[in-house]
């Protein structure tokens, strides 16, 4: 993998992050095997880590992928490995799958579990490196990004032994500094870090520059809210109503968070995120332009 801390000339953020998007065609169904499932979390059934989902076929494809939301399998619909699946399959294990070498299956699963967390960290670091307001931290961000990328590219044994909590703590502190620099430009409103705002009524609220880092926003009403340059790192947006909201320039917002929320064609997203297909279905359509060209997520 090309170092994510040094973009090619002319390469925009969307192109850089493309390497951190799941490509199931180049994976071996790792998310459907390596991870434990719980039916109460929107997965097909309860299953242990290392056990293949009963919907996974012999070609590592989900038999019901096109019907996930209709079947209520929102856990599957929302999940994203941030490109760790294909990297572990194609790079770390040179294309050999957990089926090819059953004796190493547990090594594959352990490496994947660490890599998916580190790839999420890389997503945030690459985004931060593209924020002009954080220019004074770019050198430090590049160093950390290179180091995390190198960890993922290490041997399976070394990768599995990585202290992920320590990495996340270090990166989290650095991203807090980035967030403050960016939000200072807009008056740094409302500190809702870690707040329980489940079901909160925030429709039309002027929240630009606020932080919802680690906040619970399950089913919160954020319709038509101004959420520009809001820090969403680690926020729980399941069923949050983002119809008509402006999230352009939102900080550390990921595709799984967007996929878990409700939105419509009037919701404005950062250009590097894809508009979920279920946002454009019956009952979600509003008049007006979204103001960006996000494609529908598959």
Is the pLDDT reported for residue 289 higher than 60?
no
Q: What is the pLDDT of residue 189?
A: 75
The phi, psi pair for 56, rounded to 5°, reads: -80, 130
Q: How many whole angstroms separate alpha carbon 7 and alpha carbon 20?
A: 13
**pLDDT value for 281:** 66
- Using left for φ > 0, alpha for ψ between -120 and 50, and beta otherwise, residue 95 falls in left
Reported confidence tier of residue 63, pLDDT bands at 50, 70, 90:
very high
pTM over the 0.85 mark: yes
Give the span between the Cα atoms of 255 and 259, in whole angstroms. 6
Apex CA 76: angle with CA 215 and CA 256, to 5°? 35
Per-residue confidence band for 186, with pLDDT thresholds at 50, 70 and 90 = confident
Q: In the chain, what percentage of residues exceed pLDDT 70?
A: 90
Rounded Cα distance between 231 and 69, Å, is: 28
pLDDT at 298 over 70: no
Q: What is the pLDDT of residue 185?
A: 83
Indicate the domain borders of the chain: 14-183, 188-287+294-298
Interval 70-91: pLDDT, tens: 999 999 999 999 999 999 999 9
Q: Which residues contact 230 (CB under 8 A, 6 or more apart)?
A: 207, 208, 209, 210, 211, 212, 247, 250, 251
Looking at residue 13, its pLDDT comes to 81
Query: Where is 297: in which H helix or E strand?
Result: strand 296-297
Region 97-108: mean pLDDT is 92
At 34-57, the pLDDT tens digits run 999 999 999 999 999 999 999 999
Instruction: Tell me what pLDDT residue 285 has.
Output: 43
Q: What are phi and psi of 171, to 5 degrees?
A: -70, -40
Closest of 239, 233, 88 to residue 168, by C-alpha: 233
Neighbours of 24 (CB within 10 A): 18
Going by pLDDT thresholds of 50, 70 and 90, the confidence category of residue 4 is low
- CATH of 188-287+294-298, picked from 1.10.1060.10, 2.160.20.80, 3.10.20.30, 3.30.300.30, is 2.160.20.80
Please tell me the predicted confidence (pLDDT) of residue 22.
92
Q: Is the pLDDT reported for residue 192 higher than 70?
A: yes
Residue-wise burial string across 231-268, b where 16 or more C-beta atoms lie within 10 A, e elsewhere:
bbbbbbbbebbbbbbbbbbbbbbbbbbbbbbbbbbbbb
In total, the chain counts a number of residues equal to: 298
Q: What percent of the chain has pLDDT over 90?
A: 84
User: Is the model's pLDDT at 280 over the cut of 50?
Assistant: yes
pLDDT for position 101 = 87
Q: How many CB atoms lie within 10 A of CB 21?
A: 18
Backbone angle region of 50, left / alpha / beta, with phi > 0 → left and psi within -120 to 50 → alpha? left
Burial of residue 16 (CB within 10 Å: 0-12, 13-18, 19+) is buried
Residue 14: predicted pLDDT: 75
Average pLDDT of the chain is 90
């Amino acid at each position: 993998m090309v170092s994510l801390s040094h973009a090619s000339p002319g390469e925009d953020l969307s192109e850089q992050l493309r390497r951190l998007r799941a490509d199931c065609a180049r994976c071996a169904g790792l998310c459907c095997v390596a991870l434990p499932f719980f039916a109460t979390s929107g997965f097909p059934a309860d299953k242990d880590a290392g056990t293949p989902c009963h919907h996974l076929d012999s070609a590592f494809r989900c038999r019901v992928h096109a019907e996930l939301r209709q079947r209520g399998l929102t856990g599957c619909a929302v999940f994203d490995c941030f490109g760790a699946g294909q990297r572990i399959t194609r790079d770390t294990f040179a294309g050999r799958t957990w089926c090819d070498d059953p004796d190493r299956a547990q090594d594959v699963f352990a490496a994947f579990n660490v890599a998916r967390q580190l790839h999420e960290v890389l997503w945030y670091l690459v985004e931060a490196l593209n924020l002009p307001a954080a220019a004074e931290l770019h050198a430090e961000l590049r160093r950390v990004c290179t180091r995390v990328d190198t960890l993922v590219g290490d041997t399976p044994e070394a990768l599995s032994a990585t202290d992920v909590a320590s990495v996340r703590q270090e990166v989290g502190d650095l991203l807090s500094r980035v967030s403050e620099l960016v939000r200072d430009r807009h008056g740094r409103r409302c500190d809702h870090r870690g707040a329980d705002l489940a079901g909160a009524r925030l429709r039309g609220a002027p929240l630009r520059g606020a932080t919802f880092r680690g906040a619970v926003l399950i089913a919160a009403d954020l319709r038509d809210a101004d959420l520009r340059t809001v820090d969403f790192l680690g926020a729980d947006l399941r069923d949050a109503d983002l119809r008509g909201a402006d999230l352009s320039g939102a900080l550390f917002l990921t595709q799984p968070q967007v996929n878990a929320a409700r939105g419509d064609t009037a919701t404005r997203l950062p250009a590097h995120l894809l508009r979920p297909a279920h946002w454009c279905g019956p009952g979600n359509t509003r008049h007006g332009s979204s103001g960006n060209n996000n494609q529908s997520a598959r």
